Amino acid sequence: MDKFQGQLEQYAALAIEVGVNVQAGQQLCIISPISAAPFVREAVKHAYKIGAKYVYVDWSDEQIIRTRAELASEEGLAHYPEWHAKGRVEMAEAGAAFLWVVAENPDLLKGIDPSRVATTTKATREALQPFLQFTLGNKVAWSIVAVPSEAWANKVFPEMPETERVDALWAAIFSATRVNDPTPVDTWKKHASSLDERAQWLNAQRFRKLHYRAPGTDLTIGLTDGHIWTSAGARNAAGNAFIPNMPTEEVFTSPHRELVNGTVSSSKPLSYNGSLIDGFSFTFKDGRIVDYKADQAYEALKELVETDDGSHYLGEIALVPHRSPISDTNLIFYNTLFDENAACHLAIGFGFPFCLEGGLQMSKEQLRERGLNDSLAHEDFMIGGPELDIDGISEDGSIVPIFRGGNWV
Half-sphere exposure of 401 (CA within 13 A, CB side): 9
Q: What share of the chain has pLDDT > 70, as a percent?
A: 100
Kindly write down the DSSP assignment for every residue of 259-282, as one continuous string: EEEEEEE-SS-EEETTEEEEEEEE
| Long-range Cβ contact pairs of 3-8 (< 8 A, separation 24 or more) | 3/167, 4/167, 4/170, 4/174, 7/170, 7/174, 7/179, 7/180, 8/38, 8/39, 8/42
pLDDT band (50, 70, 90) for residue 86: very high
- Residue-wise pLDDT for 357-370, tens only, equals 999 999 999 999 99
Q: What are phi and psi of 228, to 5 degrees?
A: -125, 125
- Residue-wise pLDDT for 323-342, tens only, equals 887 888 888 898 888 998 88
Per-residue pLDDT for 2 more than 80?
no
Amino acid at 110: K
Mean pLDDT of 251-270: 97
- Residue-wise pLDDT for 114-164, tens only, equals 999 999 999 999 999 999 999 988 999 999 999 999 999 999 999 999 999
Nearest to 8 by CA among 50, 48, 43: 43
Query: Which superfamily is assigned to 2-176 in CATH?
Result: Thermophilic metalloprotease (M29) (3.40.1830.10)
What pTM does this model have? Answer: 0.88
Q: What are phi and psi of 339, to 5 degrees?
A: -65, -30
Residues 405 and 387: beta-carbon distance below 8 Å? yes
Mean pLDDT of 341-354: 94
As to burial, measured by CB atoms within 10 angstroms (0-12 exposed, 13-18 middle, 19+ buried), residue 75 is: exposed
Distance CA 328, CA 394 (A): 32
- Residue-wise pLDDT for 171-229, tens only, equals 999 999 999 888 888 898 899 899 999 999 999 999 999 999 999 999 999 999 999 99
Q: Determine which helix (DSSP H) or strand (DSSP E) holds 378, and give its type and residue range.
A: strand 378-382
pLDDT for position 169: 96
pLDDT for position 26: 98
200 conformational bin, left if phi > 0, alpha if psi -120 to 50, beta if neither: alpha
Q: Determine which helix (DSSP H) or strand (DSSP E) holds 30, and give its type and residue range.
A: strand 27-33
pLDDT for position 1: 60
Q: Where are the domains of the chain?
A: 2-176, 207-231+248-408
Kindly write down the DSSP assignment for every residue of 184-250, as one continuous string: HHHHHHHHHHHHHHHHHHHHHH--SEEEEEETTEEEEEEE-TTB--B-S-EE-TTS-EE-SBSS---
pLDDT for position 232: 81
Per-residue pLDDT for 247 more than 70?
yes
**3-class DSSP assignment, residue 349:** strand
Per-residue pLDDT for 39 more than 80?
yes
Per-residue pLDDT for 255 more than 70?
yes
As a residue count, the chain comes to: 409
pLDDT for position 233: 86
Mean pLDDT of 346-361: 95
Distance CA 232, CA 241 (A): 10
Cα dihedral across residues 395, 401, 407, 409: positive or negative:
negative
**3-class DSSP assignment, residue 22:** coil
